Amino acid sequence: MSFCFALFTDFGPAGPYLGQMESVLRQFAPHIPVIHLVSDAPSANPIAASYLLATLRGSFPEDTIFLTVVDPGVGGSRRPVVLCADGQYFVGPDNGLLNTVAVQAKTVEWYEIIWRPDVCSNSFHGRDIFAPVACALANGLLADYCKPVPQPDLSAWPSDCNQIIYFDFYGNAMTGLRYEPNLDVRQLVINEHCIDQASTFCSVETGQPFWYCNSSGLVEIAVNQGKAQDLLNLKMGDSFHLLPN
pLDDT tens figures, 120-160? 999 999 999 999 999 999 999 999 999 999 999 999 999 99
This prediction has a pTM of: 0.96
DSSP annotation string for 112-142 = EE----SS--SS-HIIIIIHHHHHHHHTT-H
Rounded Cα gap, residues 1 and 216, in angstroms: 26
Does 1 have pLDDT greater than 70?
no
pLDDT tens figures, 54-95? 999 999 999 999 999 999 999 999 999 999 999 999 999 999
pLDDT tens figures, 187-232? 999 999 999 999 999 999 999 999 999 999 999 999 999 999 999 9
Q: Give how far Cα 236 sits from Cα of 48, 71, 215, Å.
A: 9, 18, 20
Question: Hey, what domains does the chain have and what are their CATH numbers?
Answer: 4-149 (3.40.50.10790), 161-242 (2.40.30.90)
SS3 category, 100: helix
Backbone angles phi, psi at 58, to 5 degrees: -65, -15
Q: How confident is the model at residue 245 (pLDDT cuts 50, 70, 90)?
A: confident
| pLDDT number for residue 181 | 95
SS3 category, 79: coil
| pLDDT number for residue 107 | 98
